């Protein structure tokens, strides 16, 4: 429903059918636009897995200091993007 009709390409020794996909344009919230590339990776990880820990974030962003990554997470909590759950080693973050 709402898709373009398929297109057909017939040649002497081959045949191709192209099915068109009319994906909806997704509106990107302002808070996503105002994140750095590391934070964007964390948000994608949370969308895919439901939550992220500091350890998982460090695995995603190897070569970046643990303090920088901790500050990234704290910034997203402060801006209301993430919710911090738990404390110390049991801490994880979810989308708010």
pLDDT at res. 2: 64
Return the domain boundaries, the chain. Answer: 31-95
Question: What was the pLDDT predicted at 20?
Answer: 76
The per-residue pLDDT for range 28-57, each reduced to its tens digit, is 666 667 899 999 999 999 999 999 999 999
List, as one string, the DSSP characters of 47-95: HHHS-B-HHHHHHHTTTS-HHHHHHHHHHHHHTTSEEEES-GGG-EEEE
- Determine the pLDDT at residue 12: 86
Please check the confidence at residue 7 and state whether its pLDDT lies above 90: no
16 has which bridge partners?
Answer: 9
- What average pLDDT does the segment 68-92 reach? 95
Q: CB-side exposure of 15: number of CA atoms within 13 Å?
A: 1
Q: How much is the pLDDT for 16?
A: 87
The sign of the dihedral angle between the CA atoms of 78, 82, 86, 91 is negative
Q: How many CB atoms lie within 10 A of CB 15?
A: 9
Which of 19-23, 25-29, 91-95 is the least confident region?
25-29
Distance (Å, whole) CA 40 – CA 45? 9
User: What's the rounded mean pLDDT across residues 66-73?
Assistant: 96
Residue 14: pLDDT band (50, 70, 90) is confident
CATH topology of domain 31-95: Arc Repressor Mutant, subunit A (1.10.10)
């Amino acid at each position: 429903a709402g898709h373009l009709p398929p297109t057909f390409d017939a040649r002497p020794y081959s045949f191709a059918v192209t099915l068109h996909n009319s994906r909806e344009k997704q509106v990107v919230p302002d808070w996503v636009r105002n994140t750095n590339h590391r934070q964007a990776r964390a948000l994608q990880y949370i969308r895919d897995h439901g939550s992220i820990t500091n350890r998982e974030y460090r695995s995603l962003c190897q070569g970046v200091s643990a303090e920088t990554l901790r500050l990234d997470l704290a910034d997203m909590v402060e801006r209301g993007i993430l919710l911090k759950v738990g404390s110390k080693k049991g801490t994880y973050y979810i989308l708010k």
